[in-house]
Amino acid sequence: MKLLGKKSVLTMLMAAAAMFSTVNAQQKSRIEEPLTPKQESIIVIASYTAQGDLENLHQALGSGLDNALTVNQIKEAIVHAYAYCGFPRSIRGLQTLMEVLDERKARGINDEWGPEASPISDERDKYERGAETLYELTGKKWGKPESGYGAFSPEMDRFLKEHLFADIFERDVLSYAERELVTVSVLSSIGGVEPMLRSHLNICLNVGLTPKQLQQFAGVIKRTIGKKEAKAVQTVLDEVLEDN
């Protein structure tokens, strides 16, 4: 076998070093990438919806539209929020969005509606589909629980898997990362649900959000909802990042 010359070896080493440098730079760029204005708007809209702060929500909705969120993306975020803060808050959020759209239309602003949710054609058992979605989100297999609240209340386990993680999470208007931003925003705003917040912050990392972006999320909560809520979020987030 013919041996490579010194020049060829040097060329290969330089190429490998250049490739490593490029990959390293791409990884660093991805790690340091901040939340987008759209993502920040999703956080603020979900937070004010959960708190029922319609005055600030009104302003946040206008900002979200200005930040290029489509009407259907905002609708989907508010609908998703109901699973964590209830129908009353979500419906009031949708009514506020209707008011904002009417006001903007009267000022000559025609907002982009964007694609609607695609029909779900999967006819498999919804419980199994929900468990599959949970696997995608968490990386863990989810069967019928043998302990905890799911075993104590099997109907709650069924509702969660069939409705939340099948009916809602399967809709394609928002990505998993965007849905998780809605979820942690609502949980942070209502407070007192730290175990669930911890679980969903871990899911945020699983679906591609970075530690820096989650730190930025905590900052948005501090700016919009309050220092008390942000302190509770930061405590849980620090624990999650330390564990990871």
Tens of pLDDT, residues 140-151: 988 888 899 999
Instruction: Output the CA torsion sign for 27, 202, 82, 97.
Output: negative
Dist CA 239 CA 176 (whole Å): 22
Torsion angle of the four alpha carbons 53, 55, 56, 58, in this order, in degrees rounded to the nearest 10:
110
Mean pLDDT of 4-28: 50
Contact 159, 193 (CB under 8 A): no
Torsion angle of the four alpha carbons 173, 178, 181, 185, in this order, in degrees rounded to the nearest 10:
-30
Q: What is the pLDDT of residues 172-221, one digit of tens each?
A: 999 999 999 999 999 999 999 999 999 999 999 999 999 999 999 999 99
Confidence of residue 28 (pLDDT cuts 50, 70, 90): very low
- Report in angstroms the alpha-carbon separations of 142 from 28, 83, 155, 222, 238: 33, 20, 15, 34, 26
Tell me which residue has tokens 């040097």.
10
CB neighbour list of residue 244: distance below 8 Å, 6 or more residues apart: 202, 205, 211
Return residue ranges of the chain for CATH 1.20.1290.10: 37-114+172-243
Annotation: CATH topology of 37-114+172-243: AhpD-like (1.20.1290)
Q: What is the pLDDT of residues 70-129, one digit of tens each?
A: 999 999 999 999 999 999 999 999 999 999 999 999 999 999 999 999 998 888 899 999
Is residue 225 scored above 50 in pLDDT?
A: yes
